[in-house]
Amino acid sequence: METRTHFQHGPDHQAVARFILQQIRDGLPAQSQGAQSRIYRYTDPSGCYAVKIPRSGVMGGCIGRWMIHRERRVYERLTGLPGVPRCHGLVEGRYLVLDFMAGESFRDAQTRLPPDHDYFEQLRILIDAIHARGVAHTDLKRKDNLLVLDNELPCLIDFGAAMVRRSDPLSRVLFLIARRFDRNAWIKLKYNGYRNIPPDERRHLRRLPIERVSHWLKRRARHLRRALVKHKERLRP
């Protein structure tokens, strides 16, 4: 079992391991889940925690476990940064323990956050802060990776796809690209889409070719799905 040398004191790791095994044994649903991991909510007298575990299966388990170890190293870089969940290390080398952040998904809160809301300025500051630590999130356009806390401040979660800056030239170039992803995501979130960005704010937007191609493919996929739905409706008796 790994030690918690680099992390704040948190839950008892043996108790967390027993809890997760019980959840899996009883077939209880996770708090949330993605392609490579599931998240369970664990509470004890010391606080409330999100426990991220890899998916089962040979390939899914191996990839998920590798990603969780990688994500733990990202949190090491971000230790003590407000707006990022505090990490309490790995349990049995495979369960990532984080503070559970009470807040509302940006997806649910965005309708009450106008572009001039202070939330977006605080989000920009937070993004710059993780970049200064050598981390780019890269997946902020996914609105569920962003929370609105009870005090209306932003919180970033799920660093599974994060890019970490290293000393080699290739890593530095890739980090610059990843950093631009985050900044473009910020202005897109602020105005709920590229088309709504006013001219005086477009200086913040520098879309990369890969983003343009991805956006085009997503639009074509949406059009195709709509066409298929209409076609099925016409075939109904």
Q: Does this model's pTM top 0.85? A: no
- Is the pLDDT higher at 65 or at 135? 135
Tokens of 17: 């391991």
Average pLDDT value for residue range 72-77:
95
What are 123-180's pLDDT values in tens digits? 999 999 999 999 999 999 999 999 999 999 999 999 999 999 999 999 999 999 999 9
pLDDT more than 90, % of the chain:
64
103-119: pLDDT as tens digits: 999 999 999 999 999 99
**Locate tokens 């000393």: which residue?**
167
13-99 and 103-206: same fold? no
Reported as a single tens digit per residue, the pLDDT across 188-226 is 999 998 889 999 888 888 876 666 666 555 566 766 677
* pLDDT exceeds cutoff 50 at 184: yes
Spatial separation of the C-alpha atoms in residues 122 and 99, rounded to whole Å: 21
Which amino acid is present at 120? F
103-206 has which CATH code? 1.10.510.10
Give the pLDDT score at 225: 73
The pLDDT assigned to 13 comes to: 93
Name the more confident of 35 and 121.
121
CA–CA separation, 88 and 192 (whole Å): 34
**Sequence-separated (6 or more) residues with CB below 8 Å from residue 228:** none
CATH T-level topology, domain 13-99: Phosphorylase Kinase; domain 1 (3.30.200)
Mind spelling out the 3-state secondary structure of 182-203?
HHHHHHHHHHCCHHHCCHHHHH
User: Mean of the per-residue pLDDT values for the chain?
Assistant: 86
CA distance 183 to 189: 10
- pLDDT of 55 reads 75
Domain locations in the chain? 13-99, 103-206
